[in-house]
Amino acid sequence: MSHRPRKALIIGAGIAGPVAAILLRRAGIESAIYEAWPYSKGIGGGLQIAPNGMHVMDEIGLAGELISRGSIAESFDFYSQEGRRLGSINRDMARRFGQPAVNVCRGTLNEMLVDKAWCACVSLYFDKRLIKIEDRGDQPIIAYFADGTTAEGDFLIGADGVHSVTRRQVVPDGPKPFNTGLIGFGGFVPHAVLNGRATGWNVETTFGQSGFFGYGYCSPDPKDGAMWWSTQPAHGMDAAMFRALDQQTLKQHLRGFHHGWHDPIPAIIEAAENIVVTDTLDVATLPTWSRKRSLLIGDAAHATSPHAGQGASLALEDAMRLARLMQVRQELGATFQAFEAERRPRAEKIVALARRNGNNKRELSAAGAFIRNQMIKWLLPLGAKSMDFMYAYDARAA
């Protein structure tokens, strides 16, 4: 007797969604991905894929391409606002963890994942915004979209990020994303802007008395291959309010906020174009990650503020571990339970670490900033060791 392959409805073509679809195919499961936005190659900002995420990129055959289209980060260096070196972490990642940490434009990563999913014969539908899920026992599960269409499958994976609609269906009265009181600004500048004091191969980051600034290469393209970002206390503003301002006013704001900060920060701000502004969001722990035949993965399950540089890598790990568990072909509910039991402790430990890191970017008194900087200087070696658990994890071997 021949069995029809099971079909997954995957909501979201960010990071977790396409990778889950690619890997589920290897487990004999067909997937269709539904993404709220039209197909676009230009989605904003830069990010870092850590060695643990790179193992998953390697598994889907994209580690080499990511390295050639991104930029290996040789270390993560910390400075004070005046330019005093506080220390360095994340050196020699490739030797220690089997893969390097790689900076990349989010748009490039997304384009690579979507192309790979297409090549793996995954069906992708854009401009399909999930609004509701219907899950009635022995009927197929149904996803309803804002354009009035529907899709049917055997189960549904919510990879729809921090604002997940699937989460609202899985945990109807559950926690909602909240603003952490920090706002992110970011963009790209030419490599030449970093030349001089910074090499670009190290990610250089600066703790101010209030706020934080970082930069490093993220692509081999000299024209706009360096990424930068600024994290600041919101002071009653949110990202939408800043987005309503024109680019010159945004730049003026950044000049004022980072006035007197060390080189090359002023030059980066002068060269900045197309500045992107984001809220820094967090979501409290969910009571469950699944309900009947729907499961949350990535930021939908455990939204991670960006301060540990791990949200994307956790999303990649989730996709890999889910596919491996699905391969065992036990009953769906048991697979979802096993997934949550395995992934929750690791995800929550990293989410908590990101929250603690975020607290170091809030406004301090001059004395408070001095003490924080001394602490970073003296405790960094210890702190660096305590982060090894994040990078040493290999989802292929778990």
Ligand X SMILES: Cc1cc2nc3c(=O)[nH]c(=O)nc-3n(C[C@H](O)[C@H](O)[C@H](O)COP(=O)(O)OP(=O)(O)OC[C@H]3O[C@@H](n4cnc5c(N)ncnc54)[C@H](O)[C@@H]3O)c2cc1C
Sites of contact with ligand X (CB under 6 A)? 11-17, 34-37, 45, 47-48, 129-130, 159-161, 163, 165, 184, 278, 298-300, 304, 306, 309-313, 315
Distances (CA, A) of 207 to 237, 258, 314, 345: 21, 11, 25, 30
- Least distance between ligand X and beta carbon 307 (Å): 9
SS (H, E, C) the chain: CCCCCCEEEEECCCCHHHHHHHHHHHCCCEEEEECCCCCCCCCCCEEEECHHHHHHHHHCCCHHHHHHHCEECCEEEEEECCCCEEEEECCCHHHHHCCCCEEEEHHHHHHHHHHHHHHCCCEEECCCCEEEEECCCCCCEEEEECCCCEEEECEEEECCCCCCHHHHHHCCCCCCCEEEEEEEEEEEECHHHHCCCCCCCEEEEEECCCCEEEEEECCCCCCCCEEEEEEEECCCCCHHHHHCCCHHHHHHHHHHHCCCCCCCHHHHHHHCCCCEEEEEEECCCCCCCEECCEEECCHHHHCCCHHHCCHHHHHHHHHHHHHHHHHCCCCHHHHHHHHHHHHHHHHHHHHHHHHHHHHCCCCCCHHHHHHHHHHHHHHHHHHHHHCHHHHHCCCCCC
Q: Which is nearer to ligand X, 196 or 345 (CB)?
A: 345
- Least distance between ligand X and beta carbon 128 (Å): 6
Q: Which is nearer to ligand X, 109 or 369 (CB)?
A: 109
Q: Which is nearer to ligand X, 37 or 178 (CB)?
A: 37
- Least distance between ligand X and beta carbon 289 (Å): 12
Q: Which is nearer to ligand X, 83 or 360 (CB)?
A: 360
Q: Which is nearer to ligand X, 352 or 375 (CB)?
A: 352
Q: Which is nearer to ligand X, 11 or 193 (CB)?
A: 11
- Least distance between ligand X and beta carbon 357 (Å): 12
- Least distance between ligand X and beta carbon 222 (Å): 22
- Least distance between ligand X and beta carbon 139 (Å): 21
- Least distance between ligand X and beta carbon 188 (Å): 13
Q: Which is nearer to ligand X, 304 or 373 (CB)?
A: 304
- Least distance between ligand X and beta carbon 364 (Å): 22
Q: Which is nearer to ligand X, 358 or 367 (CB)?
A: 358
